[in-house]
Amino acid sequence: MKKYLLPAVEIAPVVIAAALPLFVSLSYQINLYLTWEGAFRLYEGQIPYRDFGMPMGYCYWILPAIFFKLFGPYLFTLAKAQAFIHLVSGLSFRWILLRVGASFKVRLLSMLIFSLTYVLGLIWPQYNHSVIVFQFTALGFILQYLLGQEVKYKWLYLGGGCFFLVYSFLIKQDGGGLGILVATALICYSCIELRSPKP
């Protein structure tokens, strides 16, 4: 029981902070129409940059469009998509903390601060936020590759990290590019430390 209790306690602040906006009356956010329109156009089967143009990368709308398919093209569906994005960010952040060897107390306090500062204040999807979330996920995969136990298909973690780095780059190029540079620096450092170009 304790095996599952401690992770549940760590994840609880993120779950509560992510779900809380779903139970209150939500205020409209400026530029929310960009998120809704891009996701709606994908939901309708239109293809970005052929049928419509937008100032962001098209990967930003994929997740909201999936939620439109599941729950219908309503404004409140975007809040549900954002709650899911928050859960992904919290789990990815915890994964990073686990890989760097943070203790339970440090992880719990970090998750609490993360929930209060990064999760709670954002109730609608934003590309500036989504790009960072998928970088967290990518860094979780890369740190699992670099610091995890030896497994037969360890390279899949590196592949997963690369996938989410490209995904974040196709959400927003400047933030995604920064994530690629951070991941490259981690891998280069690992190569220097191991004295091997294999990573």
Q: What average pLDDT does this structure show over 33-44?
A: 91
Tell me what pLDDT residue 26 has.
75
Answer yes or no: is pLDDT of 1 > 70. Answer: no
Tell me what pLDDT residue 33 has.
86
Q: What is the pTM of this model?
A: 0.90
**Which residue stretches of the chain are H helix?**
2-19, 32-43, 62-71, 75-99, 104-114, 127-147, 155-169, 173-194
The answer to whether the CB of 186 falls within 8 A of the CB of 143 is yes
Percentage, residues of the chain above pLDDT 90: 63
DSSP letter for 140, please.
H
Q: What is the pLDDT of residues 102-158, one digit of tens each?
A: 999 999 999 999 999 989 888 888 888 899 999 999 999 999 999 877 778 888 999
Radius of gyration, alpha carbons of the chain = 18
**Alpha-carbon separation of residue 101 from 124, 134, 157, 194 (angstroms):** 32, 21, 18, 19
Tell me what pLDDT residue 176 has.
92
Tell me which amino acid residue 10 is. Answer: E
Q: For residue 52, list its beta bridge partners.
A: 48
Mean pLDDT of the chain: 90
**Alpha-carbon separation of residue 193 from 59, 88, 151, 190, 197 (angstroms):** 35, 31, 20, 5, 10
